[in-house]
Structure 1
Amino acid sequence: MTTVLIADDQAMQRFGFRMLLESQDDMTVVGEAANGTEAIRLVDQHHPDVVLMDIRMPGLDGIEATRRIVATGARTRVLIVTTFDLDEYAYDGLRAGASGFLVKDAQPEELLAGIRAVASGDAVVAPSLTRRLLDAYVHHLPASPSSPSSVPPEDPRLSALTDREREILTVVAHGWTNTEIAQRLHLAESTVKTHVSRILAKTAARDRVQAVILAYDTGLVSPSQNG
């Protein structure tokens, strides 16, 4: 049974989410929060598998609430749900440690699949979602420095990766699915999954989304390369 906490300042939105989730045999709602402060308190009280986290809420917003929940080291994972497909804060929410991103007008089956994937510790909510996310938000990052003298030392998290793992992290950051990686790099899909698991372990990334953010933050992949 997947336990879910709903954090949204709109009562009708919370009601709609609850009705959908409780229609599922494998999900139960353990609480509702109208702001980030309540969400943090209820996570500490109920230890849900997943928080459906709105971004724009009064008082403590969803981004800061996500950051504080993740910082506790709790097993709870955060799935961002926001009204706007191009919400300027969504990328910040993922950087704060959220494990996925969905818009509120997503199809019910997409939301349910996202919750199940995040709850199971899957690497990403959906590969197509990662690609959409990158297309929308990667340009928020500064371009890589052009002068060799201004290039910072390599991040130690990248130094721990083998050449093959670097290659796979790079294409993951371009939004490739495991199946696409296997086909294009002529590997077994099980081998790709093993490499991805090792990448997550070596970089201390919580999931595939966080690994993608790492790839851009460290300069392994630049916004101009995406596409």
Structure 2
Amino acid sequence: MIRILLAEDQGMVRQGLKMMIETDEEMRVTGEASNGKEAVSLCESHHFDIVVLDIRMPVMDGLEAARIIHSRWPSRKILMLTTFNDDQYALEALKSGARGYMLKDAEPQELIRAIRSCLSGGITLQDHVAAKVMPKLIKHTKNEEIDPSITPRELDIIRRIGEGRSNKEISDELGLSVGTVKNHISLILDKLALRDRTQLAIYAIRHNIV
């Protein structure tokens, strides 16, 4: 079972999102919060596989909650769900440790796919959000050079992470085991002094690898 913490300040919206998510038999919303502070508190006392956060909430917003959760429990995936199709919010969400940014008007299957993508290590941005965010990420970075210590195989992996592929998808495409892909990613992160694959995806975009 995939255990999900859902943080949304409007009760009716939260219940609607819960119903959407739980149309997938493997997913259960096992924790609910009405603000970021409650979400952080629940993370202290319960285990969740993924945290779905609204951005604008009282007491503590989703961005601050994401930063705290990602810092304290880096293995827990974070998906931002919001009404705001705003490139700056999306950029801040990625910087805060989120692996996805979805709008609340997404279809149920889009939301479920986004959750699964985050859990498998992918990065999910809705197309019209990505169209705004990507130019911001690559602006003024066309002349940045790729670290010379990166091998061709590692470059293949970085490219696929930048394209949003999961570890399983990368392993299938390159003919490697999932464990080998994970080892490569750990080595790449160490070489580039990056925190996680979200930062690695941004690195790929900024260095024109994708």
1:200·1:211 contact (CA, 8 Å) conserved in 2? no
**Superposition TM-score, scaled by structure 2 size:** 0.77
How do residues 124-203 of structure 1 correspond to structure 2 at under 5 angstroms? 124-125=122-123, 129=125, 133-141=129-137, 142-144=139-141, 158=147, 160-170=149-159, 172-173=161-162, 175=163, 189-191=173-175, 197-202=182-187, 203=189
In 2, Cα distance between the equivalents of 1:176 and 1:131? Answer: 12
State the superposition RMSD in angstroms: 3.3
> How far apart, CA to CA, are the structure 1 residues paired with 2:196 and 2:114?
16
The change in CA–CA distance for 1:103 and 1:199 in structure 2 (over 3 A counts) is: farther
| Aligned residue type for 2:86 | L
Q: Would you say the 8 A contact 2:94–2:100 is kept in 1?
A: yes
Q: 1:38 to 1:103 in 2, by over 3 A?
A: same
* Superposed counterparts of 1:28-47, under 5 Å: 28-47=28-47
Asked if structure 2 preserves the Cα contact closer than 8 Å seen for 1:99 and 1:210, the reply is: no
Secondary structure of the structure 2 residue equivalent to 1:88: helix
TM-superposed deviation, 1:113: 2.0
Q: Is the CA contact (8 Å cut-off) linking 1:8 and 1:14 kept in structure 2?
A: yes
Aligned positions, number:
201
> What letter matches 2:186 in structure 1?
A
Alpha-carbon separation, structure 2, partners of 1:143 and 1:14: 40
Q: After TM superposition, give the deviation of residue 89 of structure 1 in Å.
A: 0.8
Structure 1 gaps of 5+ residues are: none
Q: Distance in 2 between matches of 1:177 and 1:133?
A: 18
Deviations 1:26-77 (A, max 9, x none): 1221221111111111111112111111111123211111011010134321
Distance 2:67 2:35 in 1: 14
Which 5+ residue runs of structure 2 have no aligned equivalent? none
Say whether 1:220 aligns with 2:207: yes
CA positional deviation for 1:98: 0.8
Q: Percent identity?
A: 33
Q: Distance in 1 between matches of 2:164 and 2:67?
A: 27
Larger Rg: 1
Residue-by-residue CA offset, 1:92-136 (whole Å, 9 max, x unaligned): 1111111212111111011112223323xx13155xx47655432
- DSSP-derived class of the 1:31 partner: strand
Task: Give CA-to-partner distance per residue, 1:143-193, whole Å, 9 cap, x none.
Answer: 1386xxxx7xx78xx4552133225524653x3768xx99xxxx9714377
Distance in 2 (alpha carbons) for counterparts of 1:78 and 1:110: 16
SS class of match (1:57): coil
Asked if residue 95 in structure 1 is aligned to residue 82 in structure 2, the reply is: no
**Match of 2:86?**
86
